[in-house]
Structure 1
Amino acid sequence: MTLDSQARALLDGMLARRTTNGPFLAQRVSREHQHLLMRVAQAAPSHFNSQPWRFVLIEEGATIERIAQLSGESMTELIEAGVFFERYRRYFRFSHSEMDERRDGIHIDHLPGPLRPFTRQIFSDAGLKLMRQLGVPRKLGEDNRKLVAGSPLLLAALLDRGEYRPGELSGFYSVFGLGAAIENIWNAVGALGMGIQFVSTPMEIPRQWAAVQALLQVPPELELMALYRLGYLPTEQARPSIDWSSRHRKRLNQFVFRETCAAPEQEG
């Protein structure tokens, strides 16, 4: 079957999905675009059409600045203690050949000048000591704070505890539904000239995540699940101090099977 132009544009948009690591334009995200993103989220599938997701659209400057501060502080603490690298070490790649072989994880291809000779060592104990001496944790924390603070829109994603019951199937169904809703948003932002990034560092530290929940006045019947920053994209994207590329995807025979898990799928 030949795809028409509309179908091809939809698929091309999904395949071109990106995460924005750099800054956004200072331009306010229009209310029309905000509501459109909420509509595409609402179109996601959910178990028995339960629609367990809730969202908070955040534009107030003082709130964004406070969340940015919490995010930056969390990044500094995680890097300083070595927790971040220890937790996610398995996903770091340091060469094109390694990335091409594994086809997952992130390729660390952008580092501050003093760290470049130590690419493979930066996540060792000696490397972390050097990073502390060079003030890298504080620099990364400040970079993170600036990125979040400069975002015109933050989006908090929550689940209704009436449906979200961890340990039960309803818990899985709820997370699955929220994931589908977020993916719809992620696929839609590109068509609006926008970008999106997960604001993950406060989640890594319970007291910081609790501070975010208090700031957003999350009621007992809701569970704060994730936080994102959104905005319109500049023509030229500046890269953070430490940055990576992650466009590789696994080959079919690395993640797809035919009939049983014993038979990897082969490329057509």
Structure 2
Amino acid sequence: MDFLEVVRRRRTTNGPFLPDPVKPEHQRLLVEVGGMAPSHFNSQPWRFVLVEDREKIEEVARISGDSMRQLLEEGTFWKRYRPYFRFSEAEMEERRDGIFFDQMPSVLKPFSRQVFSNTGQAVMNRFGVPKTLGEDNRKLVAGSPLLLAVLLDKTEYRPGELSGFYSVFGMGAAIENIWLTTTELGMGIQFVSTPMEIPENWKRLQDLLKVPDELELMAVYRLGYLPENQRRPTIDWSSRQRKRISQYVFRETCETPEADPGREAAR
């Protein structure tokens, strides 16, 4: 695949993976490309844990699903991420950011825009939406043949100092290398984010992975090969829109937006 095509086709996988184990050579390639990322003074602060053990994956899945259910039942999820939710194609086209809820049970569609109200929250809980999404989340993680934990060396990762920024910057580059490589390999990847939202659940993951004091657990991802026809979860969203050039690029100073392709030629 052409490199630019890989960049354009990069996606987050919301659906299930094939049950096939990830080939050892592909696992090695993923961590190798991660290690090729730039870092401050070549400090390479990242550490990776590859997890294939079914019991561990099942436990991570239980923690993730329970975290999702709790966040939804309490309304924390909706309140925390409200600025990013879109409920129509028109809104998505205008904003060109966030996530568009384009799939949900018909019984819930009339209440989609009320999700941020107490009434909407009560309706969602009454219909068992938190339990449904929590179970969907558990199944997705449990059905993943490979998990990848990303950690930072605390001798470099010192929040509040420049080294902390440099470490996170380098880690982001390492993850992007891995993410792009999954696209080339016909694989998918998704951030297992919900446990991070609940401190005690994140601690459960740290204990499960036996993270030593000198390392900081930063993220966990699920990976696997993609089926030809991906089945979407019960409630799902898309996020393929991107801002126009004029919305995020400026020329010379922040006072002059860059013209969108085509508009400049029309002048």
Q: TM > 0.5 between the two?
A: yes
Any idea what the Cα deviations from partners look like across 1:220-266, whole Å, max 9, x if unmatched? 00000000000000111111111111000001111111111111111
2:10 aligns to what SS in structure 1? coil
Hey, what does 2:189 align to over in structure 1?
A: 196
1:155 aligns to what SS in structure 2? strand
Q: Does 1:253 align with 2:246?
A: yes
Identity %: 66
Structure 2 distance, partners of 1:226, 1:162, is 18
Which of 101, 104, 108 matches 2:101? 108
> Which of 111-120 and 225-234 deviates more?
111-120
| 1:20 counterpart letter in structure 2 | T
Is contact 1:115-1:122 (8 Å) kept?
no
Hey, what does 2:265 align to over in structure 1?
A: none
Structure 2 distance, partners of 1:242, 1:176, is 33
Hey, what does 1:3 align to over in structure 2?
A: none
Q: What displacement does 1:43 show?
A: 1.1
Q: Does 1:164 align with 2:189?
A: no
Q: Does 1:60 align with 2:50?
A: no
2:108 aligns to what SS in structure 1? helix
Moved >6 Å (runs of 4+): none
Is contact 2:19-2:145 (8 Å) kept?
yes
2:152 aligns to what SS in structure 1? strand
> Which of 132-141 and 110-119 deviates more?
110-119
Hey, what does 1:15 align to over in structure 2?
A: 8
| 2:136 counterpart letter in structure 1 | D
1:88 aligns to what SS in structure 2? helix
Structure 2 distance, partners of 1:68, 1:76, is 12
Is contact 2:39-2:170 (8 Å) kept?
yes
Q: Does 1:266 align with 2:221?
A: no
Q: Counterparts in 2 of 1:1-268, with a 5 A limit?
A: 9-268=2-261
The runs of 5 or more residues in structure 2 that have no matched partner are 262-267
Q: Count matched residues.
A: 261
Q: What displacement does 1:116 show?
A: 1.4
Any idea what the Cα deviations from partners look like across 1:146-205, whole Å, max 9, x if unmatched? 000000000000000000000000000000000000001111101111000000000000
The runs of 5 or more residues in structure 1 that have no matched partner are 1-5
Structure 1 distance, partners of 2:131, 2:111, is 19
1:104 aligns to what SS in structure 2? coil
Q: What displacement does 1:215 show?
A: 0.4
Is contact 2:78-2:115 (8 Å) kept?
no
| 2:50 counterpart letter in structure 1 | L
Q: What displacement does 1:124 show?
A: 2.1
